[in-house]
Amino acid sequence: MSNFVKTQVCIIGSGPSGLLLSQLLAKAGVDSIVLDRKNRGYIEGRVRAGVLERGTVTALEEAGVAGRLHAEGIPHHGVDLAFDGDRHRIDLFGLTGKSVMVYGQTEVTRDLFDARFKDGQQFYFDVEDVVPLDLKSSSPSVQFLMAGQKYAVSCDYVAGCDGYHGVSRQAIPSSVLRTFVREYPFGWLGILVDKPPVSHELIYANHQQGFALASMRSETRSRYYVQCDINDDVSAWPDDRFWQEFSTRLGPETAADLQIGDSFEKSIAPLRSFVAEPMRYGNLFLAGDAAHIVPPTGAKGLNLAVADVRLLSRALIEHYKKGNDAYIDTYSTDVLKRVWKVERFSWQLSTLMHQFPENSPFEKRMQRAEFDYIASSESASRVIAENYVGLPLHSQL
- Is 221 buried (19+), middle (13-18) or exposed (0-12) by CB count in 10 A? middle
Residue 210 covered by a domain = no
Digit-coded pLDDT (tens) for 252-269? 999 999 999 999 999 999
Residue 126 covered by a domain = yes
Cis ω on the peptide bond leading into residue 278 (within 30° of 0)?
Answer: yes
Residue 214 covered by a domain = no
Active site residues: 76, 204, 296, 300, 388
pLDDT grade for 223, boundaries at 50, 70 and 90:
very high
- The range of the structural domain enclosing residue 303 comes to 2-58+104-180+273-354
Kindly report the number of other CB atoms within 10 A of residue 280's CB atom.
24
Residue 213 covered by a domain = no
Looking at the chain, how many residues does it have?
397
Average pLDDT (123-128) is: 98
Residue 109 covered by a domain = yes
Residue 50 has pLDDT above 90, yes or no: no
CATH number at residue 13: 3.50.50.60
pLDDT at 1: 55
State the DSSP string of 140-157.
-EEEEEETTEEEEEE-SE
pLDDT at 46: 78
Average pLDDT (266-289) is: 97
Structural domain count, the chain: 1
Average pLDDT (220-247) is: 96
Residue 367 covered by a domain = no
pLDDT at 2: 79
Residue 50 covered by a domain = yes
Residue 143 backbone dihedrals phi, psi, to 5 degrees: -105, 150
The percent helix, strand, coil of the chain (3-state, each to 5) is 40, 30, 30
Residue 26 covered by a domain = yes
Q: Report the distance separating Cα 365 and Cα 342, nearest Å.
A: 25
